[in-house]
Chains A and B, each alone.
Chain A
Amino acid sequence: EAGVAQSPRYKIIEKRQSVAFWCNPISGHATLYWYQQILGQGPKLLIQFQNNGVVDDSQLPKDRFSAERLKGVDSTLKIQPAKLEDSAVYLCASSLAGNNEQFFGPGTRLTVL
């Protein structure tokens, strides 16, 4: 069974630029999560989708971050404009449904200069 795929693996941008990350969850998984992991910290949930609907986006900085999962499968997370403090690893995870085991992708490491 293929795992959660993410791209790109690494991205370096300058502050005020835009960036987008892509996630392909495990086939059949209805729930998709985006986490932000700042160096030295544990992952923090940014947004959770159930199919193509948002379940929880309470910790998403909506003035600069957006995410979509239009067809209930792949998802993109966008930052526009990026700030220095956005430097982190962005992890995507999926599960069959909420409250089931979450499977994590390898993450995208973002560096904002």
Chain B
Amino acid sequence: GEDVEQSLFLSVREGDSSVINCTYTDSSSTYLYWYKQEPGAGLQLLTYIFSNMDMKQDQRLTVLLNKKDKHLSLRIADTQTGDSAIYFCAENSGSSNTGKLIFGQGTTLQVKP
């Protein structure tokens, strides 16, 4: 079945890099996503990667995709206190082709000043 796993918690110091990891099971997914959720707010799309790419960079964000190992990571350079939030990895359900997203359980990022 389709499943997405993430570590639950990451704590870093301001200015350090953060790396959030995710594993997924559906090899037919065409897109993989990273969403950010701040307290009391909905989900905000941070970035996404197409499954035939292995890296994507967008300002402070770098996404790495290892399709063989079904492993996705999000690196945030120069992490700021405003980056404190829950980060969700998601894959689109390749089997359904309807845009249905399968989310991980989220990684809480704590940034200490």
Contact = CB atoms under 8 A, between A and B. Distances in A.
A71 to B, nearest CB: 21
Contacts, number: 59
Given A98-B98, A99-B97, A99-B98, A44 B41 contact: no
Given A56-B96, A98-B98, A99-B98, A44 B44 contact: no
A56 B45 contact: no
Interface in A59-113: 91, 93, 95, 97-107
Interface string B10-52: 0000000000000000000011000000001111110010000
A93 B90 CA distance: 14
Contacts of A107: 41-42
B63 interface: no
Given A43-B43, A106-B42, A100 B103 contact: no
Contact of B43 (A41, A45, A95, A104): A104
Nearest to A91: B42
Count class of interface residues, chain A: 20 to 34
Interface residues of B, number: 23
B3 to A, nearest CB: 11
A40 B42 contact: no
Given A55-B98, A95-B99, A98-B98, A40 B41 contact: no
B30 to A, nearest CB: 8
Given A104-B42, A104-B43, A45 B105 contact: no
A48 B100 contact: yes
Contacts of A45: 100-101
B65 interface: no
B79 interface: no
9 contacts: A31-B99, A42-B105, A42-B106, A43-B101, A44-B103, A98-B97, A99-B97, A101-B45, A101-B48
Interface of A: 4, 31, 33, 40-45, 48, 55-56, 91, 93, 95, 97-107
